[in-house]
A and B are shown apart, each in its own frame.
Chain A
Amino acid sequence: MSVYYTKEHEWVAVEGDGATVGVSDFAQGQLGDVVFVEVPEAGRAVTKGGEAAVVESVKAASDVYSPVSGTVTEGNQAVVDEPSLVNTDPEGEGWFFKLILSDEGELAGLMNADQYKAYCESL
């Protein structure tokens, strides 16, 4: 499994042609207490950089963009029911949705964990 990150602070964990998407630990720290999450339904087509989910903290609402294009296979109902999972386990139980990739070539433009760490430190 390989994990990639975007400049908008989403992560995507890829295994074969399937992938899981969420927001990074850095992102949850910036958001603060998450109180609402909306995830896409299975079957929805998402595009790289397009709006795919919503996350709201006490203070503000943010869109979550899909790091890659593909078709959603599952939205995480657990994080809808318990939005604080985004704070407590953002890169684990707090995932947002799973999808089947339509273009694995899109992964080439994303950051790996080390590159993302350096990127966050530069902010």
Chain B
Amino acid sequence: MSDSEKTLPLDGWHRGRGARMVPFADYQMPIQYEGIIAEHKWTRASAGLFDVSHMGQLIVAGAEAEKGLEGLLPADLAILKEGRLKYSLLLDLEGGIIDDLMVTRRGDHFYLVVNGATKEGDIAHLEERLPRGAVLDHMKEQALLALQGPKAVDALARLVPGVEALTFMQGALFELGGAKAWISRSGYTGEDGFEISIQARDAEAAADLLAAQPEIRPIGLGARDSLRLEAGLPLYGHDLDRSTTPVEAGLTFALSKRRRAEGGFPGWHRIARELAEGPTRKRVGLAIEGRQPVREGAAMVDAAGKEVGKVTSGGFSPCLEAPIAMAYVPLAYAVEGTRISLASRGKIFTGIVSPMPFVPHRYQRKGAAE
């Protein structure tokens, strides 16, 4: 293990449960326990416990926190209600995506969860640009667990009465095993589920308590990736980066109505133009013919063999038992049912542009019937 591979609060807990640890985002992280396919299917059928403590948990407080963040994000924070989450994007001046994140209004401050691999850069970006009246705090002693799957609510409500009243993209403060826990109904698998922010010192006891529930098994990063791919959710550093814009990435839901009209966030001019005229390329889902997966980096080629697009995520869908992928393709090809050619491992594969999610989301939205 190199010095750059730091350990997380649950490092020993994962090893004790037989996880295979790999370096990820500067940390040693569990890639799998019993196997990716088994863990994937368990999460879709019951409930999986994920350690995502590598992610950055930030607080932005102060009188100018709302205005300051609105200057960097395309979200309408003025209408964000107490305890509500909003998916948003840190944007650069050209509309490129610096990171994707969740922002929650929590009392007198905003709580942000950013990606692990990008958190140091995000913090520097925010500190440099937030006004004097906004103060950033990186919660370094905070762990983050995700509990995902159709039985997550039953299992968690047994330990945290009242948590079942949360709806998708809503959070509140609870107690889990006597420790304070900020719990939101959110996640990265397409399933109903929760994300649980607790102090690092309470993380092992919380993980023990959760894993002792019959519905819950610990799940590694491998299945987290295959689950989010089936759910059509982009992964920063792969499907999103500074060369992609929110419009190209199909993330226009993150561009709040008032902000689209008023602007005032980085990259607005390019984004407004792409909204009006359409982008030159788009992120699409692909069903790959045959059984062999096409991986990240494979080129989309035209009839002349010229590279015109790129696969940004690709793998095998355990639920569909077929290879699936995400790719950026020229706008003319971004139509459901279009067949495109992909060059990978010295062969040409056929991808069919397919609607995402590949596997339906099962979020518990407010007002939705059970």
Chain A residues with CB under 8 Å of chain B are 32-33, 35-36, 38, 54, 56-61, 83
Q: Is B345's beta carbon under 8 Å from chain A?
A: yes
Choose the segment among B102-110, B116-124, B290-298 that binds chain A (4+ C-beta atoms closer than 8 Å). B290-298
Q: Which of chain B's residues have a CB closer than 8 A to the CB of A35?
A: 291, 293, 316, 323
Inter-subunit contact B345/A58 (CB<8 Å): no
B318: contacting residue among A38, A54, A58, A83, CB under 8 A: A58
Given contacts A58-B226, A58-B315, contact A33 B293 (CB under 8 A): no
Known contacts being A38-B292, A58-B315, is A33 close to B36, with CB within 8 Å? yes
A59 touches B292 (CB 8 A): no
Closest Cβ neighbor of A30 among chain B residues: B20
Contacts of A58 in B (CB 8 A): 36-37, 40, 222, 226, 315-316, 318
Q: Which residue of A lies closest to B315 (CB)?
A: A58
5 contacts between A and B (CB under 8 A): A32-B32, A33-B38, A56-B316, A59-B36, A61-B345
CB distance from A46 to the nearest CB of B (A): 16
B161 sits at the interface (CB 8 A): no
The docked-state distance in angstroms from the alpha carbon of A32 to that of B220 is 12
Q: In this assembly, does B35 line the interface, its C-beta being within 8 Å of a C-beta of chain A?
A: yes
Given A35-B316, A36-B316, residue A54 in contact with residue B222 (CB < 8 A): no
Residues in B with CB closer than 8 Å to A36 are 291-293, 316, 323
Report the nearest B residue to A32, measured CB to CB.
B36
Chain A residues with Cβ under 8 A from B345's Cβ? 54, 61
Query: In whole angstroms, what is the CA distance A35 to B314 when docked?
Result: 13
Q: Which of B252-307 contact A (CB under 8 A)?
A: 291-293, 295
The answer to whether B222 touches A59 (Cβ under 8 A) is yes
Interface string of B84-123 (1 = CB under 8 A from A): 0000000000000000000000000000000000000000
Contacts of B293 in A (CB 8 A): 35-36, 56, 61
Cα–Cα distance between A57 and B222 once the two chains are bound (Å): 11
Assess whether A33 is in contact with B292, with CB atoms less than 8 Å apart: no
**A residues in contact with B292, CB < 8 Å:** 36, 38, 54, 56
Q: Which of B1-51 contact A (CB under 8 A)?
A: 31-32, 35-38, 40
Q: Apart from A35-B291, A56-B293, what 4 extra A-B contacts exist at CB < 8 Å?
A: A36-B323, A58-B37, A58-B315, A59-B222
Q: B295 contacts which of A33, A38, A61, A83 (Cβ < 8 Å)? A: A61
Across the two chains, which residue of chain B brings its CB closest to A87?
B35
Residue of B nearest to A60 (CB): B295
Q: How far is the CA of A53 from the CA of B38 in the complex (A)?
A: 26
Task: Please give, as numbers and ranges, the residues of chain B lying within 8 Å of A57 by CB-CB distance.
Answer: 36
Return chain A residues, CB-CB under 8 Å to B318: 33, 58
Give the top 9 A-B pairs by smallest Cβ distance, nearest first. A35-B316, A33-B37, A58-B36, A36-B292, A58-B316, A36-B291, A33-B35, A33-B36, A32-B36
C-alpha spacing A3/B315, complex, angstroms:
33
Q: Name which residue of chain B comes closest to A56, CB basis.
A: B293
Q: How far is the CB of A27 from chain B (nearest CB, A)?
A: 14
CB of B370 to closest CB in A, whole Å: 33
